[in-house]
């Protein structure tokens, strides 16, 4: 009797815990508004008026290049043009795309999910992953607890009541949802490991050296931290802990300016003692970014920092003009 009571308590605790985490994650995925680009990516009033007056695409691109020269943009269109949204009238940050269903530009957009009636992007991607995971565990828990009655149904050990058809239906629904969600969850786990979005899987972002699906990949461990954060104790909770602001992403630069490469190698030995260093405000090379190099930090002040900034700025300009 004691053993039976303990099993019931464990069953109820696991059931309610999995259900609460499932609902919490689902709620956060639905009601977290998709993050949009900041005002710095919007054209000024003068540039916007000039852009609308120009009829030649070359002249419009020149206006966009001038407006984007100080922005942290590393990707362009396939034709080497500045990524601009005519609907939202702003220069798109890296990994940002316009959602036709929400009618806004979404930062690090993955896809528009009809299951949650919301865009899945930078602001709620972690919640979406947790929603899939807890849905998977919930379906597995239901199927496992109903399995014994399902077996009894086929061996004619269940009483001849209408309830046995409910057991059969419940097991099949839980099993089918488990298989479906398992494939989707596995796919997104692979995307996290590669640091890609669903859109980037089908259409690789274009960098200075051409399309590169792995342009934002920092290694499996660091890719995971970019989505879930540095504090592992918060990974399984639907609390926003993703690194960055959604507009700036570290990139693994395959081709860099020689000047920036030289400055980076000179700056690499410098270490910072700050444990709570904030996420970089600009995409940085491996020697300058804490996500790319776990023990490397950048210098907070001094001439070397100015050289690094000028080198990064030059790379952005050359990337957009090439």
d(CA 109, CA 95): 7
d(CA 205, CA 254): 14
d(CA 183, CA 115): 16
Report the SS3 class of residue 79: coil
**Those residues with Cβ within 8 angstroms of residue 37's Cβ, 6 or more apart along the chain or in another chain:** 88, 90, 91, 92, 93, 96, 105, 107, 247
CB 43 within 8 A of CB 91: yes
User: Could you give phi then psi for residue 2, rounded to 5 degrees?
Assistant: -60, -45
DSSP per residue over 201-214, as a string? Answer: HHSPPEETTEE-TT
Query: How many CB atoms lie under 10 A from the CB of residue 139?
Result: 22
Among 42, 99, 102, 113, the active-site one is 113
Angle at 120 between CA 196 and CA 132, to 5 degrees: 85
Q: In angstroms, how far is the first alpha carbon of the chain from the final one? A: 76
Annotated active-site residue 113? The verdict is yes
| Core vs surface per residue 269-306: b (16+ CB within 10 A) or e | ebeeeeeeeebbebbbbbbbbbbbbeebbbeeeeeebe
Ramachandran quadrant class, 282 (left: phi over 0; alpha: psi -120 to 50; beta: rest)? beta
| Residues involved in catalysis | 113
């Amino acid at each position: 009797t004691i053993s039976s009571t303990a099993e019931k308590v464990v069953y109820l605790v696991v059931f309610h815990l999995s259900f609460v985490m499932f609902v919490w994650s689902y709620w956060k995925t639905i009601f977290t508004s998709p993050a949009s680009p900041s005002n710095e990516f919007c054209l000024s009033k003068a540039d916007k008026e000039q852009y609308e007056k120009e009829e030649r695409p070359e002249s419009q691109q020149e206006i966009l290049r001038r407006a984007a020269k100080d922005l942290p943009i590393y990707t362009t269109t396939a034709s080497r043009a500045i990524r601009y949204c005519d609907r939202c009238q702003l220069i798109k940050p890296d990994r940002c795309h316009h959602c036709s269903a929400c009618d806004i530009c979404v930062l690090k957009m993955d896809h528009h999910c009809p299951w949650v009636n919301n865009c899945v992007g930078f602001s709620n991607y972690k919640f979406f992953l947790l929603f899939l995971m807890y849905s998977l565990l919930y379906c597995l828990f239901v199927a496992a607890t109903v399995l014994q009655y399902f077996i009894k149904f086929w061996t004619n050990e269940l009483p001849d009541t209408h309830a046995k058809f409910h057991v059969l239906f419940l097991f099949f629904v839980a099993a089918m949802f488990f298989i479906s969600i398992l494939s989707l969850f596995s796919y997104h786990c692979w995307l996290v490991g590669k640091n890609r979005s669903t859109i980037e899987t089908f259409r690789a972002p274009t960098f200075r050296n051409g399309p590169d699906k792995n342009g934002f990949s920092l290694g499996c461990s660091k890719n995971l931290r970019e989505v879930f954060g540095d504090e592992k104790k918060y990974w399984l909770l639907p609390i926003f802990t993703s690194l960055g602001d959604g507009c700036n992403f570290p990139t693994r630069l395959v081709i860099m300016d020689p000047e920036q490469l030289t400055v980076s190698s000179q700056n690499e030995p410098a270490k910072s003692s700050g444990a709570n260093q904030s996420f970089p405000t600009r995409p940085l090379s491996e020697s300058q970014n804490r996500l790319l190099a776990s023990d490397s930090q950048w210098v907070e002040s001094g001439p070397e920092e100015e050289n690094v900034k000028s080198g990064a700025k030059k790379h952005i300009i050359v990337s957009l003009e090439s």
